């Protein structure tokens, strides 16, 4: 992708305008982990400022502080040359800061115009409830971001690109001077991505400070005037204009230059029978020809950055989504599940990333949550009922085996009473009760403490050593270091795999950005 032609409003580097917002010596610590280590970053009017770095490098922490969602432990925040305290999202909004996250906060049953008016500092509640004509200001803002579709269309009928334009227009309705975009092109195709980058360029030309967070380095190099590179909570590089090269960006992210790598599938195969083979799987815009093999008794890690397509591939394997193209086989037999029930019968289990919304029955007891996947195996047509006492007794035994720590009340207490780590152990135990041949774990340690995390991974390793084939998807690359093999995904496909001494965080990152 070549640099977009635009006329930036920012003056020459030596005479650049005062920052819209500047952070000085910002420090943020979570327990024993220092997420930000005294960073200094400035965002200026008329510039597109890129933020790049691996997962957990500190980008999101900085954004959450600027959005008023968290407070720093130390350091200062200046807006328009004055020190400010961002104690709430409302305070950030009053200063003209707008934040557009990957999961767009839109009401699908509202029209585009109604969504643009939502959160408008100038009011508009009556218009949102029932209006016959689109206010002139909404039309003007829509034209400003290049909206050409009718504003009375429901947001649910719009493409993802069009929904992004609606969200940007809503930010401009509040006269936002700083707009932060988190992975704006992650779910867009090439043509839509280019159109959105053009919108970013136009906003900067109109004097808006645009913060562009992306793992796609070609887009960062194409559009950004300034790039700040994060690694482990520190700023490792601050690059401007001609200084912004792939080599410098990767060096700042990874810590060293990249060594040449063999493509996926060219390395020696791990010993063992092939349990699962995925060949050329396509699914929407997220999975683009993914191919991988999982061997019997293997612990396979899947690494990748945001938007790499890892979860989407896992959902295809589990039958939650149907592929658009490609084939799968399970122990040599064709495998094409038409739903999760088919996958379950074939011996494939899946622990999803979002346990609270996709896996847990929060108001039901531990017993019910633990037996949910295997309940059919515990009943029959002749005996459809299961003794509650026996179910509780089995659940207690399983919890003890899994290391689940419970309060008074035993297995009859709601699962919501358990900690996040213990909830995750129950979900894993639920699927182990089905005796699966292939177990897929998506971010198994997300939201759990360090002790529970170590315990979960010890049990995952034990499961694999007993002969079960296990896939672990994790954004925390350190957690994948003990895997037998790590496949790295980027833009919907497996771009390489690592074995033995090659399995390092730096090598995983290197493949992500290669």
431 with 446, same domain: the answer is no
364 with 501, same domain: the answer is no
Question: How many Cβ atoms sit within 10 Å of the Cβ of residue 486?
Answer: 25
pLDDT of 451 over the 70 cut: no
Q: Which residues pair with 33 in a beta bridge?
A: 30
| pLDDT value for 241 | 87
What is the distance, to the nearest Å, from the Cα of residue 205 to the centroid of all Cα atoms in its chain?
Answer: 30
384 band by pLDDT with thresholds 50, 70 and 90:
very low
Residue 264 in contact with residue 291, Cβ under 8 Å?
yes
Six token digits for residue 202: 């136009």
pLDDT of 190 over the 80 cut: no
336 with 445, same domain: the answer is yes
Alpha-carbon torsion (346, 347, 352, 357), positive or negative: positive
Using the structure block, give the residue that is written with the tokens 């086989």. 329
Query: How much of the chain exceeds pLDDT 70, in percent?
Result: 83
Range of the structural domain that residue 428 is part of: 360-379+387-435
Point out the domain boundary residue: 435, 454, 474. Answer: 435
Angle between helices 160-173 and 136-144 (to 10 degrees): 120
8-17, 387-396, 405-414, 470-479: least confidently modelled range: 8-17
442 with 513, same domain: the answer is yes
The upper half-sphere exposure of residue 241, i.e. CA atoms within 13 Å in the direction of its Cβ, equals 6
Residue 205 in contact with residue 7, Cβ under 8 Å?
yes
| pLDDT value for 386 | 55
In a domain, 189, yes or no: no
CATH number at residue 512: 3.40.50.300
| pLDDT value for 45 | 94
Contact residues for 170 (Cβ-Cβ < 8 A; gap 6+): 115, 116, 117, 118, 119, 120
430 with 455, same domain: the answer is no
In whole angstroms, give the CA distance from residue 293 to residue 166: 41
406 with 305, same domain: the answer is no
441 with 506, same domain: the answer is yes
pLDDT of 352 over the 50 cut: yes
In a domain, 204, yes or no: no
In a domain, 25, yes or no: no
10 band by pLDDT with thresholds 50, 70 and 90:
very low
| pLDDT value for 317 | 96
In a domain, 304, yes or no: yes
What domain count does the chain have?
2
458 with 391, same domain: the answer is no
In whole angstroms, give the CA distance from residue 67 to residue 221: 26
In whole angstroms, give the CA distance from residue 308 to residue 36: 25
420 with 475, same domain: the answer is no
Mean pLDDT of the chain: 82
pLDDT of 379 over the 50 cut: no
| pLDDT value for 271 | 62
pLDDT digits (tens, 9 = 90+) for 90-126: 999 899 999 988 777 889 889 999 999 886 655 444 4
Residue 457 in contact with residue 397, Cβ under 8 Å?
no
Using the structure block, give the residue that is written with the tokens 């006492």. 389
Helices marked H in 366-514: 366-371, 388-402, 420-432, 450-465, 505-513
| pLDDT value for 347 | 93
336 with 442, same domain: the answer is yes
Residue 286 in contact with residue 335, Cβ under 8 Å?
no
In whole angstroms, give the CA distance from residue 192 to residue 285: 12
In a domain, 364, yes or no: yes
Phi-psi region of 12 (alpha: psi -120 to 50; beta: other; left: phi over 0): beta
343 with 445, same domain: the answer is yes
Query: How much of the chain exceeds pLDDT 90, in percent?
Result: 39
In a domain, 248, yes or no: no
Residue 273 in contact with residue 331, Cβ under 8 Å?
yes
Backbone angles phi, psi at 417, to 5 degrees: -80, -15
363 band by pLDDT with thresholds 50, 70 and 90:
low
3-state secondary structure 360-395: CCCCCEHHHHHHCCCHHHHCCCCCCCCCHHHHHHHH
Q: What is the DSSP letter of 257?
A: P
In a domain, 291, yes or no: yes
Using the structure block, give the residue that is written with the tokens 């977009």. 4
Region 37-65: mean pLDDT is 91
293 with 391, same domain: the answer is no
In a domain, 242, yes or no: no
Residue 281 in contact with residue 290, Cβ under 8 Å?
yes
Six token digits for residue 316: 């295809």
């Amino acid at each position: 992708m070549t640099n977009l032609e635009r006329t930036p409003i920012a003056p020459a580097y030596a005479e650049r305008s005062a920052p819209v917002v500047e952070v000085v010596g910002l420090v943020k610590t979570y327990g024993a982990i220092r997420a930000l280590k005294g960073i200094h970053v400035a965002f200026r009017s008329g510039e597109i400022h890129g933020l790049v770095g691996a997962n957990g490098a500190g980008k999101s922490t900085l954004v959450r502080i600027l959005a008023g969602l968290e407070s720093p432990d130390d350091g200062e925040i200046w807006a328009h040359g004055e020190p400010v305290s961002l104690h709430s999202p409302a305070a950030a909004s009053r200063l003209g800061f707008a934040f557009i996250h990957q999961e767009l906060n839109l009401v699908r049953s509202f029209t585009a115009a109604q969504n643009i008016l939502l959160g408008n500092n100038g009011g508009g509640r009556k218009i949102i409830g029932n209006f016959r004509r689109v206010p002139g200001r909404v039309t003007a803002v829509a034209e400003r971001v290049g909206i050409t579709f009718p504003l009375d269309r429901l947001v649910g009928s719009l493409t993802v690109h069009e929904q992004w334009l609606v969200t940007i227009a809503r930010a401009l309705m509040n006269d936002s001077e700083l707009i932060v975009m988190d992975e704006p092109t992650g779910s867009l195709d090439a043509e839509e991505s280019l159109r959105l980058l053009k919108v970013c360029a136009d906003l900067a030309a109109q004097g808006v400070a645009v913060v562009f967070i992306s793992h796609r380095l070609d887009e960062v190099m194409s559009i950004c005037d300034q790039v700040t590179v994060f690694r482990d909570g520190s700023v490792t590089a601050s690059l401007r204009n001609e200084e912004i090269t792939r080599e410098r960006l990767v060096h700042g992210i990874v810590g060293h230059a990249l060594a040449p790598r063999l493509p996926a599938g060219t390395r020696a195969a791990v010993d063992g029978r092939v349990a699962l083979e995925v060949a050329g799987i396509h699914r929407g815009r997220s999975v683009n020809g993914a191919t991988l093999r999982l061997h019997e008794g293997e612990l396979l890690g899947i690494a990748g950055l945001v938007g790499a397509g890892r979860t989407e591939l896992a959902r295809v394997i589990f039958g939650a989504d149907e592929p658009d193209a490609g084939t799968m086989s399970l122990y040599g037999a064709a495998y094409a599940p038409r739903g999760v029930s088919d996958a379950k019968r074939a011996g494939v289990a899946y622990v999803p990333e979002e346990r609270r919304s996709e896996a847990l029955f929060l108001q039901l007891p531990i017993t019910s949550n633990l037996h949910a996947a295997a309940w059919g195996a515990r009943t029959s047509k002749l005996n459809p009922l299961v003794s509650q006492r026996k179910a509780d007794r089995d659940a207690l035994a399983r919890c003890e085996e899994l290391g689940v720590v419970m309060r008074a009340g035993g297995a009859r207490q709601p699962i919501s009473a358990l900690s996040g780590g213990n909830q995750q152990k129950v979900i894993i135990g639920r699927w182990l009760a089905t005796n699966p041949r292939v177990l897929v774990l998506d971010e198994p340690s997300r939201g759990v403490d360090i002790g529970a995390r170590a315990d979960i991974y010890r049990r995952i390793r034990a499961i694999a050593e007993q002969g079960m084939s296990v896939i672990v998807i994790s954004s925390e690359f350190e957690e994948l270091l003990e895997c037998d093999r790590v496949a790295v995904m980027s833009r919907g496909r497996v771009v390489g795999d690592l074995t033995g001494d090659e399995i390092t965080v730096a090598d995983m990152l290197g493949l992500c950005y290669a």
